Structure 1
Amino acid sequence: MTDLFWPGDERAGSHFSAEDFVGAMLAVEEDWLGRGFSTPVDAEQLALDAEAGGNPVIPLLRILREQHPEAHRGLTSQDVVDSALMRMADSAVATLRRDLRVVTDRLAALASEHRGTPMVARTLTQHAVPTTFGFRIAAWLTAVLDADDDLARLAFPQQLGGAAGTRAAIVELGRESPADVPRWHTTRAPVTRIGDALVGCTDACARIANDVLTLSRPEIGELAEGSGGGSSTMPNKANPVLSVLVRRAALTTPQLAATLHLAAAQQVDDRADGGWHAEWATLRDLVRRTLVAASQTAELVTDLRVDTDRMAATLAAAGDAVLAEQRSITDDPAPTYLGDATAYVDQVVARARRTPEEPS
């Protein structure tokens, strides 16, 4: 899948593509029926036919019932769409966490390598006190680990409530009523929680990208992307394109999650009139943009170039400006003023190196 309006979209693979959506809806129907379907389904034609009923399940059923007339009995369209969205989200989050694992492993290695690499800390864009590059990386790593923890806590429940959540048809058909399955036709926390967790991921990725963008400015030159992108008019330029594209995602995903919350707030009666429909494409864009950003971040940190000499030179050139607080606190002329920065780096690295089953 590609998108000329979103360079790099192919990194998200088939997640939340039209074909993925059709496959997930078919899987829901097959699980309910207890048998498979051999009838081919054209995703493009299904999309064209979906407008008349407002959702793709209605035209899908016309195809499926040609083979199995009893298909879908007891369900409603929202059961199928919601359950399909959760299946797709579960798969996408698994892929996302694999990319974040690449990021955390690389950042842990970099933080250990540079735990004592001196550089100047900057606050409100200005030189502040001495720090280490390892400490800066530990901040990046903390954000990524926190985002991954939020992903790990997500649940992807199926939807099985029938026409209005009462499961009346299911009971009348003598089907076992799955009491442990929540009914969330108009309580959309499963969707908004996914949205919030995804935005947390792009926040964490942008935390890294923003620093790379700043520190790769020629007048600073402390970091650089492994292979920058070109310019249409200036062949000498090596633009930090990966960082730019990661930042792009972080500038747009919060609004997508806000749309999911707005749709949740606009739920009404026992099934909503538009709020539910607003979620599908919104969640698709949010999932795919987050997957792309995580993949680009993994590449960014894997190939990141660090100029330790430039970091040391900048710190030295800062002179008294970075010693002011130290002199106001202590008379000790020691050249370092790092507090417990290295201990914190070690703590964050240890957290990153726990197995996925261990609590963080």
Structure 2
Amino acid sequence: MTVVCLVYAPIAMTELWPYATPGAPALGEWLLGRSVSAEFVADAVRDRMGPYTRSLVPLIVHSVLGGLLMLLGPVQLLSAVRRRIRLHRALGTVFAATVYVSMAGAALYLLRTPPAEAFSGAAFWIVLATILVGTVGSVTFGVLAAVRGFPDLHQRWLLLCYGFLMTAPLLRIEWGVLPALYPGLSLQDINRVAIMHLGALVAFGALLASRALDRRTGVPGATGTWAPGPVLVAAHVLGAAGLGWIVYALLGQGTQGRRLLVAYLVPYVLTYAVVAVRAMRARVRRAVWAREEWRLHLAAQCLAPAFSAVTVPVLERTMGLDRLTSLIAGVGIGAGMLAYAAVAVVSLRVLHGREVLRRQGESAEDPPAPPARAATRPVGADGSN
């Protein structure tokens, strides 16, 4: 990941130079031209020129600061930095502020650009908007967790935030790789293929990183499970129904639908298998907290297709989109939104555990109630009661 971030940082910072000054050097275009073709790059620039020039300054701010975030993120994960609390906090403050300003630039672009006129169309606009909200929300919860003294939750939210940010470099990698698998596809079609699984992949990566950094076998106050067997069974049933509907709907969209289905289904099955196996291994090792977190994310992953299936008709009716565009958008946002929900549930689980401990502590500190005095009756003159 660090290598990808270091390579992508200068690409992000120079990506929009040609739109401001035609002919200006751009490292990303240079690499893409040599990995794919000059014609592919020229078509991409031409297709993006209209939407981008209307919001060029906000996009330049977004892009340059996005490159800076690619450098700040790995630095924050270095053990040497995390051990230096003041340095870690200072860099974290810079990171959070940079996220807000960078996302403000992206928000201005989205607000100024109607979904149908956005680069790669309405589905791509919806996915970008969802990533923006997820990025801002996760960094905000991460900051709040740090302020309230929850370093484990702070870590999870910031890793999810960085996962959302990683969609940018991973998308550029797919620009260079997918044309070899699908010759003749335009950049817009490549984007549609990529968004079918990017959300799932970055959320999965954030989960793996969170679990790798958390070696605890349990969380104080967290007993039992919020993902018992019946809940997981229900999640699997709903997920299977949603997945079946998505498969049926995409198969009805011809060659493009089948291509999109493969792009969605293969990563989904692989990530599901890994999460399910990790949950079972945690049970065998009796790692209670690891098992709980894996199971919560497993339930969320099962529900992602159901969420996407429900979202499709909503997008059709509220935004006036056609079925294929709604399918791409619904599937594209499902995994990321359910991963966000899973981290929220994990956070509530930890907060509930702390609240349980607090109440137990208050009960232990309360003085015991004095014993009740037995009721007595006056003694008679003869000494009898």
TM value normalised by structure 2? 0.29
- Higher helix content, 1 or 2: 2
- Higher strand content, 1 or 2: 1
Flag the structure with more relative contact order, 1 or 2, with Cα contacts below 8 A and sequence separation at least 6. 1
TM value normalised by structure 1? 0.31
